[in-house]
Amino acid sequence: KIDVEGFEYYVLKGATETLQKESLKYILLEFNNSGATFGISDQKVFDFVTSYGFKPLSYEVAKKEIRIETTFRTDKFNTIFIRA
């Protein structure tokens, strides 16, 4: 889980070796536009993490269903990513 109050992009940029490791299966990121303080959009963070082969997921509790999504969650702050 990465929740660093808008500094997510820079943490990810510093973790490129880790992001390339096949052993890293999931990442949980918070998207709440706090990166705007540093001139970084949520879309830029999303584009960066997906460039490493990660796909966003959603989980519907009532149906016990996991779905691959096309973008980060806007209804809640946290988005789970899985390595494709």
Structure tokens, 3 = 């929740």
Phi-psi region of 82 (alpha: psi -120 to 50; beta: other; left: phi over 0): beta
List the one residue out of 78, 3, 8 whose CA is nearest residue 47: 8
Q: Does pTM top 0.85 for this prediction?
A: yes
List the one residue out of 82, 50, 46, 76 whose CA is nearest residue 61: 76
pLDDT tens track for 28-75: 999 989 999 999 999 999 999 999 999 999 888 899 999 999 998 877
- In whole angstroms, give the CA distance from residue 11 to residue 15: 6
Q: What is the pLDDT of residue 60?
A: 86
Of the chain, the end-to-end C-alpha distance in Å amounts to 18
Q: What is the pLDDT of residue 74?
A: 78
